[in-house]
Amino acid sequence: MEPFDPAELPELLKLYYRRLFPYAQYYRWLNYGGVVKNYFQHREFSFTLKDDIYIRYQSFNNQSDLEKEMQKMNPYKIDIGAVYSHRPNQHNTVKLGAFQAQEKELVFDIDMTDYDDVRRCCSSADICSKCWTLMTMAIRIIDRALKEDFGFKHRLWVYSGRRGVHCWVCDESVRKLSSAVRSGIVEYLSLVKGGQDVKKKVHLSENVHPFVRKSISIIKKYFEGYALVGQDILENKESWDKILALVPETMHNDLQQNFQKHHSSLQRWEYLKKAASQCPSNIKNEKCGPWLEWEIMLQYCFPRLDINVSKGINHLLKSPFSVHPKTGRISVPIDLQKVDQFDPFAVPTISSICHELDAIFTSEAEKEENQAESDIKHRTRDYKKTSLAPYVKVFEQFLENLDKSRKGELLKKSDLQKDF
């Protein structure tokens, strides 16, 4: 992937917002078919400009208004907020207390830094292909639950551009949910509890909830390759002491002795499972058998959600197709059919797609020809000539499904009215 130089960012952003940003699809998404009057006009956007200048409560009349403003401001980052009772750009003129956040997609934010206590390859903002498997498991686990346990149909997963993923649940009924209901949903999806000073963060009850069982079966598909081989979580005494802190003390001596006799994380894990199945479960509050194994797997692999992002209706979240100012990578939608193949390092950077565009227009003849065309005509095709195209296609497929379901709902309503 093209090396990214942050010093070039202002110039690259100009080109990106003028020629490559998929405005039509973006507007089509947030306008939701124009079914609700002023839905788009009442949406908050926030822009972060050069030198961390932060502007909240931006709002726009239509697609062309949004385009003009983005091309004028060239934001380093775009965040999307709630749909308010009034136009956000007029919030100062509204009577105190009347300006209220009314609707927003249900959003989830999963950030790799929240796994720093259990990943050995990287820490803080760094990621690599070894720990990216954590995001793959997170998408699989959360998406399955949103779809099957809650029946949510329209789920857009987006790479954050650096070290995490976001999910936007866009069903009409979901956008209307209260903060309390959102809290309930995110609580249902949370298992890993406790801060840095809490060693054991997962406690299963004897009757394991079906959601947890299904999550464990997803983790099992990845656990050996990710945790035992890639992360080598039982490689040496320092790493296995972390795991011993999660098992009953009565097992410590036996495990310490036997771990030294084995030569790999794989062998040590097999021994731990065997020991867990034999340990007496009559010790007060201590679980053995498969529970022990599951609690360790969940602590090391289960998704860690930022609860506050999901709870608040007025919480801002970084927009799809925003550019990450540190990495230059575009926040692109993730194809749910190809989650395992998604590679954050192969995601186009703003420099790579701008250079691809330059390469297309290098021949002078073509340049002259194109200058005669309108800018609008350009844009509809320009991203298609770059490596951003497949990601816009994923987004379009998502929009297609939203449209179909909206039309289905409208048909249902008109049929119901005919019945009366």
Enter the tokens of residue 133. Answer: 């498997």
CA distances from 291 to 14, 246, 295, 296 (A): 55, 11, 6, 9
Cα 270–chain centre separation: 33
DSSP state of 79: E
The CB-side HSE value for 322 (13 A sphere, CA atoms) comes to: 24
Q: Which amino acid is at 358?
A: D
The strand order across the sheet containing 164-169 reads: 106-111, 164-169, 155-159
Three state DSSP letters for 264-309: CHHHHHHHHHHHHHHCCCCCCCCCCHHHHHHHHHHHHHCCCECHHH
b/e per residue 99-123 (b: at least 16 CB within 10 A): bebebbbbbbbbbbebbebbbbebe
Catalytic residue numbers? 44, 109, 111
Enter the tokens of residue 170. Answer: 């866009």
Taken in order 140, 142, 145, 146, the sign of the CA dihedral is negative
